[in-house]
Structure 1
């Protein structure tokens, strides 16, 4: 039972967003069917896409926890990044695509909106649920970023689940405001095509979010280094060992959000024998893992400074 509780707590952002989107999606589709609103239909599709996205991210988190095997010696952690990229594609192709199509069709063939009050009630209900989901996502993200600025924290984050939900919920709230404005304008001015323009505007918001998420996911898929502070700490710990003459370079790559592979090239003092070197390497690895638990795999290569590409890390 504790394990299940811990997993639920760890995924509270995803579960909260999933529950909100499922309820909102049904309400939006019902409202769209009653009133004939294009923007409400776009918003319904948007909620369905968001719900599917949360399921994919939960699946990605589950798959990423599989242990390493012969085919994947560094584990399956980066599978989460693949599903994050799929999420970005879905937002762009399905969410934005349907919004553009529905908006275009409604502009070409405007139909008078009926019972707009239904839309207003559903939009208000949706804002309440989306706002609650956004607040949970923001609180969890805010706790994890520490003293780092929110934009910098997003760019440096190696766990896409948190910032994807945050951006999805932000886009959803903006979309709801656009849908509300489109509905009010279409009804008040007796110009139903304005509802179609609102649908296109929602598509633009989703397209921008999708492009940003695809860009961030692409970087994670290709492979990103660890936080510069982690690299600098590795450099400092190895360089401070009495058997090390100099550290030539420290290279890292995230194999999962909380897992880093590090390769170190170090020049040992000439008097260190091969037998002593093996013991010293094991000692340094133990010291590094104790200081930096995020280091899942450590490779230390003895190499003369003149034979290596020297790299001195910066914490900035």
Structure 2
């Protein structure tokens, strides 16, 4: 039990914050829907409820992925976060389906909802709360790539480096982008429905919110299916390759593989050395390379092998010197 609590402390903070905020938001929205019968509010309630459950599972999964390797699982538990995210998107998918179904029902059988001001007030407050979580996720993305961005630069940097962020952080960013946009969309629909006889606007908003949720499901599923299978990280591969080539005794890189598991990297590299080197010199090169590669953030193990220099250049990205 103590180990579990220690692991939970290492869980993704953005996911935990998002889960707490969305529980609060879903309660507020759900209570408002019960009293007003507003279908756009119903869509937002399901959306927030799905996000809350999703993000809580993501927090737990990101924490469990930090568990140290065991004899039974020598490669560690890095892929646990990908497996949890694959399960979590099913929740969002179900909520998206229900949201679209309710929207279609409202289009074919439109009804006028009540509580115009309370609906706008609740959605406005909840959208601000979800926007707060979105900004926190942006800061997390910037932090993952070593940036300290502020203001409009934070928005730009988070979009530019989205693919480099942790899987859990990417999911929170996607979900709360949709949540913030969905809240604004629902507010517009309520205003149209109130000031015009076009009450179907709320149903259309519900369908659009459901479609946005399905887009998140598709994106997250594809990303984490690749992660669960085990995918190479080309950006990290180039970075480590250039680092290896800075060693004065390395002539070339024959093969390099960087396998990403969750938030961690496993590195295998075969380098070419001068065939005249002694065993002691080769051992020194091995120690230097392992030390420098393990110093790279996220790398948890390294396998270095050697071959004699064949005078043919294999490293495609320059020697890094």
Normalised to the residue count of structure 1, the TM-score between the two structures is 0.85
Identify the residue that residue 267 of structure 1 maps to in structure 2: 272
8 Å CA contact 1:261–1:298 kept in 2: the answer is: yes
Residue in structure 2 matched with residue 105 of structure 1 by the alignment = 105
Task: Give yes or no for the alignment of 1:246 onto 2:252.
Answer: yes
**Unaligned stretches of 5+ residues in structure 1:** none
Q: Which runs of 4+ in 1 moved over 6 A?
A: 4-7
Trace 1:129-278 onto structure 2 (pairs within 5 A). 129-146=129-146, 149-157=157-165, 159-226=166-233, 228=235, 230-257=236-263, 259-273=264-278, 275-276=279-280
Contact 2:39 2:102 in 1 (8 A): yes
Q: Deviations over 1:161-186 (max 9, x none)?
A: 11211221111111111111111212
Distance 1:22 1:234, change over 3 A: closer
Instruction: Give the RMSD, CA atoms, in angstroms.
Output: 3.2
CA contact (8 A) 1:266 1:302 kept: yes
Offset, 1:226: 3.8
Deviation at 1:139, TM superposition (A): 2.6
| Whole-Å separation in 2 of the counterparts to 1:241 and 1:143 | 29
Residues 211 and 307 of structure 1: CA distance in aligned 2, closer, same or farther (over 3 Å): farther
Distance 1:244 1:61, change over 3 A: same
Shift of the 243–120 alpha-carbon distance from structure 1 to 2, 3 Å rule, reads closer
User: TM-score, normalised on structure 2?
Assistant: 0.84
SS of match in other structure, 1:169: helix
Cα 1:88–1:152 change in 2 (3 A) is farther
Report the more deviating stretch, 57-66 or 148-157. Answer: 148-157
| Structure-1 residue corresponding to 2:150 | none
For these two proteins, the number of residue pairs brought into alignment is 310
Match for residue 122 of structure 2?
Answer: 122
Q: CA deviation at 1:288?
A: 2.2
CA distance in 2, matches of 1:293, 1:99: 41
The structure-2 alpha-carbon separation of the partners of 1:193 and 1:246, relative to structure 1 and needing over 3 Å to count, comes to: closer
| Residue in 1 that maps onto 2:304 | 300
Change (3 A) 1:22 1:237: closer
Residue 59 (structure 2) aligns with: 58
The CA distance in 2 between the partners of 1:204 and 1:59, in whole Å, is 27
Q: The residue matched to 1:303 in structure 2 has which SS?
A: strand
Tell me how far 1:51 sits from its aligned partner: 0.5
Cα distance change, pair 25–131 in 1 and its aligned pair in 2 (3 A): same
* Partner Cα separation in structure 1 for residue 114 and residue 244 of structure 2: 71
Distance 1:204 1:309, change over 3 A: farther
C-alpha contact (below 8 Å) 2:275/2:309 kept by paired residues: no
Structure 2 unaligned regions, length at least 5: 148-155
Paired with 1:62 and 1:7, the residues of 2 have a C-alpha distance of: 5
